[in-house]
Structure 1
Amino acid sequence: MESRMINVKAVWDKDAQVWVAIGENVPGLVTEADTLEQLIEKLKVMIPELLEANRLLPNNKEEIHFRLLSECTEVVKVGA
């Protein structure tokens, strides 16, 4: 894997009341958490583990950088 930012998309699941994260360039990365903060902490553990398991962990890198992109859709009723 080349040295670049890993993008992870987090979407709010309104029915389950959790944030769901999916990493496109990290095979097997799907997880959920109640808050974005909890999700970030889980990703800090899961990303290196999954990269290593898939033999994508850079040999000469001491750090892995990831960006969490969150998306939440809400509805506001006007005049309620």
Structure 2
Amino acid sequence: MPKPVQIDAEWDDEARVWIATSDDAPGLVVEAETWQAMIDDVRAVLPALLGLNEGFAGGLTLTFRAETRLALAGG
């Protein structure tokens, strides 16, 4: 059965990159300039990271969750 892994993604407006981390994969920190590049980078490093940390069988199911905070001026 695939192991579910939730990936939390946040846009860093100052650095102009997406940052991906996960409580399900300790040590995961990926930065990328685009959403798709971030997904590709996570997919590339996550199996090796989990294999080193805890081992897994049956594959992974990734869920990406993004959050954006905006401040709007009153009008």
Q: TM-score, normalised by structure 2?
A: 0.84
- Is there any run of 5+ residues in structure 1 with no aligned partner, and where? none
Give the corresponding residue for 2:71: 75
Q: Are 2:37 and 1:57 equivalent residues in the alignment?
A: no
Q: Is the partner of 1:31 in helix, strand or coil?
A: strand
Q: Are 2:19 and 1:20 equivalent residues in the alignment?
A: yes
Residues 15-50 of structure 1, C-alpha deviations (whole Å, 9 max, x = no match): 101111111111210111111111000011111010
Residues 53-76 of structure 1, C-alpha deviations (whole Å, 9 max, x = no match): 11x2323x1x21110101112234
Provide the rounded CA distance (Å) in 2 between the counterparts of 1:15 and 1:28: 23
2:3–2:56: 8 Å Cα contact kept in structure 1? Answer: no
Higher normalized strand content (fraction of residues): 2
Q: How many residues align?
A: 75
Between the aligned residues of both structures, percent identity stands at 28
- Is there any run of 5+ residues in structure 2 with no aligned partner, and where? none
Larger Rg: 1
State the superposition RMSD in angstroms: 1.8
